[in-house]
Structure 1
């Protein structure tokens, strides 16, 4: 991935990781289109940065995704980077019959959303020089947080999908996976203040440093996520699952108190 001069589409760009990285890419010389559901949040994220543009997108609506992709290509023909970042995370109790609306929305946003948008833009990207697709997964793709089972499952699925996408697009489009640890954002209630989570600005700085490398790593992994990423490889999956479950419960309790 070029280290400047890109035209990047960043979904989920109105807040959190998407906003922070959009600012980093803008400030190094890229043009960034931030997409999200709320125009007010997008306007706030773009304020004062002349090369950040905004576009409303609801990734839950397939027809809207297709129309959005056509318009973005028309408005930004130099688009060469798709950054699939939009996602939602919901806590779920699996011990009894329940309303599945949270689970279904999570699958639609976190899994179908990136697949649909990638599909809608792939012909354009294949024809672009220095094209890349960045899929944001999670450390929970490798060791699930049992309190957020569908979220963890969608991130594991996107990790697998990214491996296949990278292999099929080899020599045509660079495919990169960004797997964050727990970061202090508003992804879940109270998370922005939750102890033990990585501060957002520190995370964005560390990620930006890896995107500045040439060549860009196929996996962008900050030190804080290696505990999860390497758990199975190092033969400590069960231990890590237990530790993660207990630690996450304690962090939420402490942060919400």
Structure 2
């Protein structure tokens, strides 16, 4: 995708990677619409960052997605980039169903059904644009599992394969599919992660992502250097070592 001149909608971007990326993309000459559930956060973002548009959206709710999509497209008929950023991560114990079932259902609804419903809401519009991009967000954990987050790992593996598949289907359209694959980043995705030495500083991650988008406009996957240890373990032949190292070094994996 081109790094500037776009109109971009990023649902799930009132904090963390989503907000940091939204601000950096705005600074690069894009019109950016931030989406989220909490009206007070959206109001604060609009007040603190002039030029950023906002829309209320709950990506776990199909009706909310449809309503927000209509609102965004009415205000921004030139929208050409959708970033399916919204996601949650939960620590789970799969020894007993009462310990994990509700969590797993919530993770799958947010991380898998959410992006699917978002793409469904915007795909006809995006195909009518001369140049459009859908940015999906998987994870290094799509390729090597953290033992305490089974549903999250599985949801991000699903997003990886979904991205691969719809890229093939949409090859005859103007819509490109770009998969963003973060490593652990210092955000509040899990309690304490924003201060974890294991996680990559947020500003460093976003700077490297934007640099990759700029230098590799035709990239199918956006991978900062720190995620490649996880992404390519199987290809290198050291998958078992990668999994062991991941679960030994990350404080949530102990």
TM-score by length of 1: 0.94
Question: Partner of 2:30 in structure 1?
Answer: 30
**8 Å Cα contact 1:13/1:22 also seen in 2:** yes
Q: Which string of whole-angstrom CA distances, capped at 9 and with x for unpartnered residues, describes residues 81-120 of structure 1?
A: 0000100000000122325211111000000000001011
Q: Which residues of structure 1 form unaligned runs of 5+?
A: none
**8 Å Cα contact 2:147/2:253 also seen in 1:** no
Partner Cα distance (2:130, 2:32) in 1: 17
Report the count of equivalent residues.
Answer: 252
Q: Which string of whole-angstrom CA distances, capped at 9 and with x for unpartnered residues, describes residues 160-185 of structure 1?
A: 00001111111420110000000000
**8 Å Cα contact 2:7/2:30 also seen in 1:** yes
Decide which moves more: 20-29 or 211-220.
211-220
Question: Partner of 1:3 in structure 2?
Answer: 3
Question: Partner of 1:188 in structure 2?
Answer: 190
* Aligned ranges 1:6-21 → 2 under 5 Å: 6-21=6-21
Tell me by how many angstroms 1:214 deviates.
4.7
Q: Which string of whole-angstrom CA distances, capped at 9 and with x for unpartnered residues, describes residues 4-60 of structure 1?
A: 110000011100000000011000100010001112222333444333111111011
**8 Å Cα contact 1:132/1:175 also seen in 2:** yes
Aligned Cα root-mean-square deviation (Å):
1.4
Question: Partner of 1:146 in structure 2?
Answer: 147
Question: Partner of 1:166 in structure 2?
Answer: 167
User: Which among 209, 212, 217 is matched to residue 211 of structure 2?
Assistant: 209
Look up the SS of the partner of 1:133 in the other structure. strand
Partner Cα distance (1:171, 1:49) in 2: 37
User: Which among 212, 220, 223 is matched to residue 221 of structure 1?
Assistant: 223
* Aligned ranges 1:58-77 → 2 under 5 Å: 58-77=58-77
TM-score by length of 2: 0.95
Query: Structure 1 residues 214 and 226 mapped into 2: Cα distance closer, same or farther (>3 Å)?
Result: closer
Look up the SS of the partner of 1:86 in the other structure. coil
Look up the SS of the partner of 1:78 in the other structure. coil
